[in-house]
Amino acid sequence: MLPVPQLVERCRSAGMRMTPQRRAIFEFLEGNTDHPTAEAVFRAVHRRHPGISLATVYNTLDTLERLGELDRLELGGAAERFDPEVRPHQHFHCTRCGRVEDLFGDVPTPAVEGPVGCRVDRVRVQLVGLCATCRGRERPARRRGSSPQ
């Protein structure tokens, strides 16, 4: 995603009506590595701009995606997440807490070779498991589980 001032200009020239609420969405997303859901964006911006609607959040996110300033992540069944980091990278998804972490460069990606006649634009690799925090909680949870009731 572009820095907020340039993003505001880009969206204006793409015909988006700029409002303080939309600017607040941009500010929340800038540098955000949490891969928030639309609802999380709404909750965060709503604190300072109680007048904002979820529909405004959705259509702002849609516009940013259309402009290539935001990626939409579909992580198998869970709610869609949004990512202002649009440089190519992969994601690790924790199945327990839902945390999504960025992985740059060091993931072995398969050779980009699609079916004959197709053009491959993106390769999606899904890494799923437990994040460091959840792994740290794993042992005490097992102990509790194995103790007699």
Where do contacts with Zn ion occur on this chain (CB under 5 A)?
83, 85, 94, 96-97, 99, 102, 131, 134
Beta carbons within 10 angstroms of residue 111's beta carbon: 6
Q: How far is the CB of 145 from Zn ion (least distance, A)?
A: 18
Q: Which is nearer to Zn ion, 27 or 101 (CB)?
A: 101
Q: Which is nearer to Zn ion, 49 or 89 (CB)?
A: 89
Distance separating alpha carbons of residues 148 and 85, to the nearest angstrom? 47
Q: How far is the CB of 51 from Zn ion (least distance, A)?
A: 30
Q: How far is the CB of 90 from Zn ion (least distance, A)?
A: 8
Residues in the chain: 149
Q: Which is nearer to Zn ion, 10 or 96 (CB)?
A: 96
Q: How far is the CB of 116 from Zn ion (least distance, A)?
A: 31
Q: What is the DSSP letter of 88?
A: S
The pair of structure tokens assigned to 34 is 């949490």
- Name the residue with tokens 């909750």: 43
* Residue 97 CB-half CA count within 13 A: 15
Q: How far is the CB of 1 from Zn ion (least distance, A)?
A: 11
Distance separating alpha carbons of residues 91 and 86, to the nearest angstrom? 12
Taking a C-beta distance cutoff of 8 angstroms, is the pair 80, 98 a contact?
A: no
Q: Which is nearer to Zn ion, 49 or 99 (CB)?
A: 99
Pairing outcome for strands 126-129 and 90-94: parallel
Q: Which is nearer to Zn ion, 53 or 109 (CB)?
A: 109
